[in-house]
Structure 1
Amino acid sequence: MSARTLVLRASSWAARSSAWLGRATDVHHQRFYRPALLASSTRSLYQRATYATKRSVADELLLTALKGEVDYELRDEAHKQGNIKGSARPFEVTDNPGTEEIILRRTYGNEEIAVTCILESQQPEEDEDLGEAHDEEGDEEEENDEASENRDVEVLHLNVTITKGERYPALEFECSFVSGGEEIEIESIAYLHSDSSQGKDDEIEPQEYTGPGFHSMQPNLQESFHKLLQARGLTSKVATYAIEYLKAKEHREYIRWLHNVETFFSS
């Protein structure tokens, strides 16, 4: 075999080897480097990171606002507590944190008296004559806005329960007192033999007669019930104290709520 033939065969073998290596390299490249998959994975990670960043920013903004509100309310707390004038005597105040009510308790002879107090802010209905005057003046919207800011009144709701040793029978008064008023208003009086809500399952209990409508009673009988409550210490002074106490309590409960929300998002 001539030297020329050997050279030609060697060149042909080298070309085939180079082509084979090229194909192998392409397969390896295609198998282990997939730009589309890498780009998709990168986008997913980026999106998750961006979402986490946005969520963290929102949380931080909320926490900052909560801390600022707590600081502001704490500075105002001493002023709120200082507004409580008088006392609940002869009652003792039961104040359970986390609730919106207080209970005034006392013993009167052989009676146990419990007064559950809840405060509500109400806006009375607008006087019709006043509304007509506003229309004539042409300033209805502006004056209504000013009036709505000044006409809100605080109404104390009182549930008075009187028992003698046992839970039942009981005499239950539903009352109300408007801040600045002169007398506690009685809305209804019920004589309760037992707790009607404790009936057997699937058993319909007959409706118990608890008493007449208070305002349907004779005026002298209504007056006698008013004097009965006053004799037991439930006066306008005690009601006024309860209003101021509940306003301060609402402020404390608001601060407690702010702390709870702050702790929830901080953990």
Structure 2
Amino acid sequence: MSALRTVRSLAAASSRTLAQRSVIGGAQRSVLSCSTLARALQCQKQWAVPAVRAFSISARTQKEGASDVSLSQKLQEELNYERGSAQAGQPEFIKDFVNQGVWTIDDTLGNDEVAFVRKFGNETIRLLFSISDLNASESDREFEMEQRVEAGEEADPEQQTISPCRVQVIVTKSDTPGSMNIDTMCQDVGFLIEHVGFFNDALIGTEVTAEMDWKRRGLYSGPSFDHLDPEVQEEFEKFLDERGINEALAIFLHDYAEYKEQTEYVSWIEKVQKFVEN
């Protein structure tokens, strides 16, 4: 028991004894004298802990953290490097592609998805792809190459030179209901078909919304492409090639995806740095 608790116990006991009267065996009443009580109270006062205000620390309002300046500087260095290595304005290969007047490019800064659109007779053809899918494929390819190098394998000159990217080809007709959706893998050899689907309602096949995506999942859209007769597969490949969905477009699409990714990256640095500085 601490000294403070002992003194407090003595004081409490003395008070009770003073208020209590007891007669035992005819003995005289025993009371704690006032002087004794005074000494006990004085001792208690000596050991008492002085009153202290509750401990609290008010957070200092800061406009910026200690690391904000260094982070902003590094972002600026990265931004200067990317701007220095980037070509000013739109690259010539994109201008040449658009000037051909076959495909139009539907691309909004800040959006991950890009669409190439063209008319072919009474058809409207849309090629949809995502640059995040391209980045994921690039990471897988780099990891695979590292594994081969570690295993002592030599680079194969015939190995594909571009990273594969998933591209969905959506075909609709102005005078016929429904849509044909062709899932492909875009590589340097062209567009490899993985699946051909058909939807009676063109909105289900073309609208990129959560509601339509849910409806598509519950519908039968067609068999796996490799389950089709080889001659049918070959005709579908001709169908795409006739509409300009070929090796040349595959190479351009990959180059455009890299340009798009670079543009989005620079824009991301600019926005993040501005946010950190303010």
Counterpart of 1:190?
197
Alignment of 1:26-37 (within 5 A): none
CA displacement 1:88-131 (0-9 Å, x = unmatched) = 6521111111122221101111111111123422435969xx97
Change (3 A) 1:152 1:209: same
CA displacement 1:38-79 (0-9 Å, x = unmatched) = xx78xx47xx45x849x5321111111111111111111118
What secondary structure is seen at the aligned counterpart in 2 of 1:56?
coil
Q: Which runs of 5+ in 2 are unaligned?
A: 1-49
Counterpart of 2:25?
none
Determine the C-alpha separation between the residues in 1 that align with 2:176 and 2:65. 53
Determine the C-alpha separation between the residues in 2 that align with 1:259 and 1:126. 33
Bigger fraction of residues in helix: 1
Corresponding position: 1:75 with 2:79: no
Corresponding position: 1:259 with 2:270: yes
Change (3 A) 1:151 1:83: farther
Corresponding position: 1:100 with 2:112: yes
One-letter amino acid of the structure 2 residue matched with residue 225 of structure 1: F
Shift of 1:250: 0.4
Change (3 A) 1:198 1:68: closer
Q: Which runs of 5+ in 1 are unaligned?
A: 1-33
How much is the aligned-residue C-alpha RMSD, in angstroms?
Answer: 4.0
Corresponding position: 1:155 with 2:161: no
Counterpart of 1:233?
244
Determine the C-alpha separation between the residues in 1 that align with 2:194 and 2:216. 25
Determine the C-alpha separation between the residues in 1 that align with 2:176 and 2:112. 24
Q: Is the 8 A contact 1:175 1:188 kept in 2?
A: yes
Change (3 A) 1:75 1:183: same
CA displacement 1:1-29 (0-9 Å, x = unmatched) = xxxxxxxxxxxxxxxxxxxxxxxxxxxxx
What secondary structure is seen at the aligned counterpart in 2 of 1:57?
coil
One-letter amino acid of the structure 2 residue matched with residue 66 of structure 1: L
Counterpart of 1:87?
97
Q: State the percentage of identical aligned residues.
A: 22
